[in-house]
Amino acid sequence: MKQFAERTQDRFSTTIFQQSGALPPFNPQLAFDNCPELVQQLRDQISHADVVVICTPEYLFSIPSRLKNILEWCVSTTVFANKPVGLITASADGQRGHIELQLIMQTLMARFTAETTLLISAVKGKLDSQGNVTDEQTDAELSRFIAAFGVLMDTQA
């Protein structure tokens, strides 16, 4: 996510949500009435964002539980409906988690294309200790992703 934010800073501002651990576990009984304040703040951020980029690892052939919790809090809303979304999975393998994330985002009616998804397998060998991309192919793929994401942003409904 750091690389995406740095490479696009001249195009738009990026807010990185870092409070996923502070969100309570999803409770459908609180989805509307008595919705936790932090959940409502997150929904508002998503709703007001022009675009959303989700960058995640894969855990146990799935998405991490904290990301799943965020998305569960959004499922009963329309915050992702027709929202331009970019999806990046960076992991040892990542294929199954990447597919699962796409299925979830389709369910939430987010708008993305094959070009605005990026799977970075064997990620540890492609970044330095500061998180900078060191692999030329990955660098080129990230550049293509950013270009496609810019097109998606420009064609917002």
Q: What's the pLDDT tens digit per position in 52-92? A: 999 999 999 999 999 999 999 999 999 999 999 999 999 99
Residue with tokens 């807010």: 15
Per-residue pLDDT tens for 143-156?
999 888 777 767 66
Helices marked H in 49-135: 65-74, 95-107
Q: For residues 72 and 58, what is the distance between their CA atoms, to the nearest angstrom?
A: 17
Predicted TM-score of the model (pTM): 0.90
User: In sequence order, what are the beta bridge partners of 87?
Assistant: 54, 117
| Closest residue by Cα to residue 58 from 95, 104, 17, 3 | 95
Q: What is the DSSP letter of 126?
A: G
Tell me, what CATH number does 31's domain have?
3.40.50.360
Q: How many domains does the chain have?
A: 1
Per-residue pLDDT tens for 122-132?
999 999 888 88
Type of residue numbered 111: R
User: In sequence order, what are the beta bridge partners of 89?
Assistant: 56, 119
Q: Using an 8 Å Cβ cutoff, are 43 and 74 in contact?
A: yes
Give the SS3 label for residue 51. coil
Please give the residue range of the domain that contains residue 34. Answer: 2-154
